[in-house]
Amino acid sequence: MTYDDTDLIEEAPPSPTERQLRRLMVPRPAAYVAEERLDVINDPDLEQLWRVQP
Amino acid sequence: MDLVVQSPDELLAAVPHVLGFKPEESIVLVPFGPGLPITRVDLPSSAADREEIWDAISGPYGRHARSGDRLGILCFTDDRRSAELASQHLSSRLETVGITTPIRLWTDGQRWREFNAGATGLQTQATAERVAAATVLSGAAQPASSRASLAASMVGNREPIAQVIPTARAAAAASTPAAERDWALDRLEQFHADGNRFSDADGARMLVALETIATRDELWENMTNLNHASHMAIWNDLTRRAPDEVRAAPASMLGFASWLHGDGAKAWCALDQVPSDRPYSMAAIVASAVQNGIHPREWDRYQSEMRQLAGELDESFMPKRPEQQGNLPRTRPMTDRPAPDR
């Protein structure tokens, strides 16, 4: 562990889980601009739109 | 499910059931087959806006596109001219990554027009009701009337828990972080098993426990593709009921669980419940995942890497013979990019 177990979140540096996830997900400023947001639905239930042939 | 979309009218009526809300002044990209996501963006009204939209979606679609992929471009707006320009622009850009768009559809809620073929028709209430009935039979939840109402569903009565937070803080101060973490994990497992709503006292205790990073991370890492629905339920309830001072964590957890569920719109609505005056790095990471269209399977990959790393570390503590010293496990260098505050 690289952090104090009793640190409060708002005072603490990024936790190990946060640091690891940042390797996968590169933060972008656009993420914080409400009018530029994407609503992405991954693996949608396409059967609600089309009949998906097996 | 028996529903088979046979007309633009039916397709337009079905989209809110997949998104979870009725889109307004929006473009929705709908894949014809598995592999690509559904995406909703605000309708661009200028050439610069249209290019910005492409910049935003080119990442997710460029990553996932395969030769022969097809998308429908659906425009929900009264502004037919902007819809035609925006759908044409998107269509030409999508072709550059190998995606064709056989359908470019516009509706103002009353009429529809398919721009490629020039066909027109009416959007009827009868079709909307028939599609809604079919989705009810399939067990799907009915869509919110708008994106705003979806967001409003995450705001509940926050006063009861606010009143018992001081008591929970006093109890936590008399306890230890480790004891509170163990309680939180046990309580989470109980919720996974019975799904019963937390009492105000348990809710306050959980919210206070989440303020400790190690505890929050253990609960976060408990999320999997198998239990994300249960996580969505618990964090949705606590986000609705948590006062400002303790809402950043449950709202971020709800955002992450929603992303893991594949629902980017709900994830955004959850992140909007993080108080704006409280920068919260977990929320920034979830926002990045959603904005970049990162697929939820990346969480599986992350957890697998962590398990592997833990295994390597365990092995590294085993005494080794001198000839083995050159084969010590190595981990990849970590690039710790800073997240902007929100």
The ipTM of this complex is 0.71
Q: Are residues B77 and B187 in the same domain?
A: no
Lowest mean pLDDT among A2-16, B89-103, B116-130: A2-16
Closest-CA distance, A2 to chain B, in angstroms, reads 11
Q: Least CA distance to A52: which residue of chain B? A: B33
What the block records as the tokens of B322 is 């001198």
Which residue segment(s) compose the domain that B255 sits in? 152-272+279-317
- Domain shared by B132 and B160, yes or no: no
Contact B60 A50 (CB under 8 A): no
Which of B7, B73, B281, B309 to substitute to test the interface with A, most A CBs within 10 Å? Answer: B281
Q: Are residues B251 and B121 in the same domain?
A: no
Beta bridge partners of B70: B100
Structure tokens given for B95: 């072709």
Tell me if B322 is assigned to some domain: no
- pLDDT bucket at B118, cuts 50 / 70 / 90: very high
Specify if B266 maps to a domain.
Answer: yes
Of B136, B167, B195, the one marking the end of a domain is B136
Is B166 a member of any domain?
A: yes
Residue type, B292: N
Q: What is the per-residue pLDDT across B189-233, written as a single tens digit (0 to 9) for each?
A: 999 999 999 999 999 999 999 999 999 999 999 999 899 999 999
Which chain A positions have a beta carbon within 8 Å of B302's beta carbon?
A: 20-21, 24
**A40–chain B nearest CA distance, Å:** 4
Residues B130 and B156 in one domain: no
Q: How confident is the model at residue B328 (pLDDT cuts 50, 70, 90)?
A: very low
Same structural domain, B223 and B91? no
A22, A29, A46 member nearest B34 (Cβ): A46
Q: Are residues B227 and B201 in the same domain?
A: yes
3-state class (DSSP) for residue A39: strand
Domain with B94 in it: what CATH number? 3.40.140
**Which pLDDT band, with edges at 50, 70 and 90, does B58 fall under?**
confident
Q: Residue A42 and residue B177: Cβ atoms within 8 Å?
A: no
pLDDT at site B315: 59
Task: DSSP letter for A13, please.
Answer: P
User: What's the pLDDT score for residue A25?
Assistant: 60
CB–CB of A1 and B1 under 8 A?
no
> B180 and B304 share a domain?
yes
Which chain A residues contact residue B262 at CB under 8 A?
A: 41-44
Please give the C-alpha separations between residue B128 and each of A17, B149, B223, B309, in angstroms, as whole numbers. 44, 19, 36, 51
Query: Are B80 and B194 part of one and the same domain?
Result: no
Q: What is the 3-state secondary structure (H, E, C) of chain B?
A: CCCCCCCHHHHHHHHHHHHCECCCCEEEEEECCCCCCEEEEECCCCHHHHHHHHHHHHHHHHHHCCCCCEEEEEEECCCHHHHHHHHHHHHHHHHCCCCEEEEEEEECCCEEEECCCCEEEECCHHHHHHHHHHHHHCCCCCCECCHHHHHHCCCCCCHHHHHHHHHHHHHHHHCCHHHHHHHHHHHHHHHHHHCCCCCHHHHHHHHHHCCEHHHHHHHHHCCCCCCHHHHHHHHHHHHHHCCHHHCHHHHHHHHHHHHHHCEHHHHHHHHCCCCCCCCCHHHHHHHHHHHCCCCCHHHHHHHHHHHHHHHHHHHHCCCCCHHHHHHCCCCCCCCCCCCCCC
In this structure, the answer to whether residues B113 and B196 fall within a common structural domain is no
Query: What is the domain count for chain B?
Result: 2
Within a domain: B127: yes
Give the model's pLDDT for residue B5. Answer: 60
Q: Do B1 and A48 touch (CB under 8 A)?
A: yes
pLDDT digits (tens, 9 = 90+) for B247-292: 999 999 999 999 999 888 899 999 999 998 877 889 988 888 888 7
In this complex, the residue of A12, A37, A41 whose CB is nearest that of residue B38 is A41
Q: Which of B111, B136, B161 is the last residue of a domain?
A: B136
Question: Are B182 and B237 found together in one domain?
Answer: yes
Residue B164 shares a structural domain with residue B263:
yes
- Tokens describing residue B136: 């009810």
B336 assigned to some structural domain = no
Question: What is the model's pLDDT at position A43?
Answer: 81
Q: Which of A45, A49, A51 should be substituted to probe chain B, the one whose Cβ sees the most B Cβ atoms within 10 Å? A: A49
Q: Do A40 and B282 count as a contact with CB atoms less than 8 A apart?
A: no
What percent of chain B lies above the pLDDT cut of 90? 55
Together in a domain, B291 and B174: yes
Q: Which residues in chain A have their CB less than 8 angstroms from residue B265's CB? A: 39, 41
- Asked if B285's CB is within 8 angstroms of A5's CB, the reply is no
Residue B92, in any domain of the structure = yes
